[in-house]
């Protein structure tokens, strides 16, 4: 057989390598964003709406100075972007599952985890840009930030996003081509999680049962950790709890996600 002689035959003995595969999945996912950066503009709108339309109300009702309110509110907005971005990302996979695109990646020699992690990280990359813009906008209004805290905070958001994104993909893998089911479950879960994280309004004034539920909401811990980090309180216990919550979510998300991915064909 003269097959090999006419052609470049690459190393066909390639093996699954989670780190390299994740990088390759991530760069593939980012290509449409790079090709059409305009898509990012719209994803900026939502946080800006909250910053422009919600923060003034918060300032008014709390009676606190603007700078202090933003100090409390901005970290929550960043967590919210991640919540909405990675929480909805399963629908992209659902779309790829309805075409043959997902199936093609399953036949490729890729580590199954990379198909989840690479995709979830793709939602994080624009968030870094969004975070910097939001921080810059809030700056003139008296919002200050600890640079080390911001960097660690973004890393924490990435871990949190991988966990949430993996769960979103799991939901997509389970609901298959039933988009209504995916969105139904997603919307049913995301708003209680959002409100019970104390991200938009403080929970201190809420009833005891709400506070009790909020203590087991990992997003609540991530929000509190972000606030401490942005304020420069890097060694706070809440930071540790935030990391524990995010890592736990990522581990659970990846475990169920990889299982669902293996069963998905």
Partner 1 sequence: MTNEPIIEARGLTKRFTVKKKTVEAVTDLTFQVARGELVAFLGPNGAGKSTSLRMLTTLIPPTSGTARVVGYDILRAPSDVRARIGYVGQLTSGSFSQRVRDELLSQGAFYGMSASAARTRADELIASLDLAPFATRSVQQLSGGQKRRLDIALGLMHAPPLIFLDEPSTGLDPQSRANLWQHIMDLRERYGTTVFLTTHYLEEADRYAERVMVMDKGRVIADDTAARLKANLAGDVLTFGFDSAADAERAVAVVATLTDREVRRDDAEVALTAPDGDELLPAAVRALDAAGIRVRRATGVPPTLDDVFLALTGRTLREAGEGEPTEEEETDAAADPTAAHTADAAAAVPAEKTGASR
Residues that bind partner 1 (CB under 8 A): 1-4, 6-16, 21, 24, 27-28, 31-32, 35, 95-110, 173, 176-177, 263-265
Rounded to the nearest whole angstrom, what is the least distance from the CB of residue 128 to partner 1 in the complex? 21
Looking at beta carbons only, is 6 or 147 nearer to partner 1?
6
Looking at the chain, list the stretches that DSSP marks H as alpha helix, in order from N- to C-terminal side. Answer: 18-35, 38-49, 55-62, 66-88, 90-98, 101-107, 112-138, 147-175, 179-195, 208-215, 218-230, 237-263
Rounded to the nearest whole angstrom, what is the least distance from the CB of residue 124 to partner 1 in the complex? 18
Looking at beta carbons only, is 104 or 151 nearer to partner 1?
104
Compute the C-alpha angle 201/202/206, nearest 5°: 105
Looking at beta carbons only, is 92 or 211 nearer to partner 1?
92
Looking at beta carbons only, is 14 or 210 nearer to partner 1?
14
Distance CA 19, CA 113 (A): 9
Do 162 and 250 form a contact (C-beta atoms < 8 A)?
yes
Looking at beta carbons only, is 111 or 156 nearer to partner 1?
111
Rounded to the nearest whole angstrom, what is the least distance from the CB of residue 103 to partner 1 in the complex? 4
Looking at beta carbons only, is 60 or 100 nearer to partner 1?
100
Rounded to the nearest whole angstrom, what is the least distance from the CB of residue 256 to partner 1 in the complex? 15
Tell me the residue length of the chain: 265
Rounded to the nearest whole angstrom, what is the least distance from the CB of residue 84 to partner 1 in the complex? 19
Do 177 and 94 form a contact (C-beta atoms < 8 A)?
yes
Task: Spell out the residues 6+ positions from residue 48 whose beta carbon is closer than 8 angstroms to its own.
Answer: 134, 137
Distance CA 192, CA 133 (A): 27
Rounded to the nearest whole angstrom, what is the least distance from the CB of residue 261 to partner 1 in the complex? 9
């Amino acid at each position: 057989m003269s097959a090999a002689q006419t052609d470049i035959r690459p190393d066909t003995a390639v093996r699954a390598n989670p780190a390299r595969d994740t990088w390759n999945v991530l760069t593939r996912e980012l290509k449409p964003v790079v090709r059409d950066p305009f898509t990012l503009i719209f994803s900026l709108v939502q946080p800006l709406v909250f910053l422009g339309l919600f923060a003034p109300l918060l300032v008014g009702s709390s009676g606190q100075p603007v700078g202090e309110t933003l100090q409390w509110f901005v970290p929550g907005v960043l967590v919210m972007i991640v919540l909405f971005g990675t929480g909805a990302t399963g629908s992209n996979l659902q779309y790829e599952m309805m075409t043959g695109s997902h199936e093609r990646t399953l036949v490729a020699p890729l580590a199954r985890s990379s198909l989840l992690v690479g995709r979830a990280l793709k939602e994080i990359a624009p968030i870094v840009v969004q975070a910097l813009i939001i921080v810059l906008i809030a700056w003139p209004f008296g919002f200050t930030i600890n640079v080390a805290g911001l960097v660690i905070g973004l890393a924490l958001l990435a871990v949190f996003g991988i966990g949430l994104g993996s769960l979103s993909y799991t939901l997509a893998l389970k609901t298959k081509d039933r988009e209504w089911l995916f969105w139904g479950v997603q919307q049913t879960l995301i708003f209680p999680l959002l409100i019970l994280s104390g991200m938009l309004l403080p929970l201190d004034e809420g009833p005891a049962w709400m506070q009790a539920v909020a203590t087991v909401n990992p997003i609540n811990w991530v929000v509190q950790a972000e606030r401490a980090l942005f304020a420069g309180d890097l060694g706070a216990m809440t930071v540790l709890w935030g990391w524990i919550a995010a890592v736990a979510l990522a581990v659970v998300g990846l475990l169920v996600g990889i299982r669902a991915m293996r069963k998905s064909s």
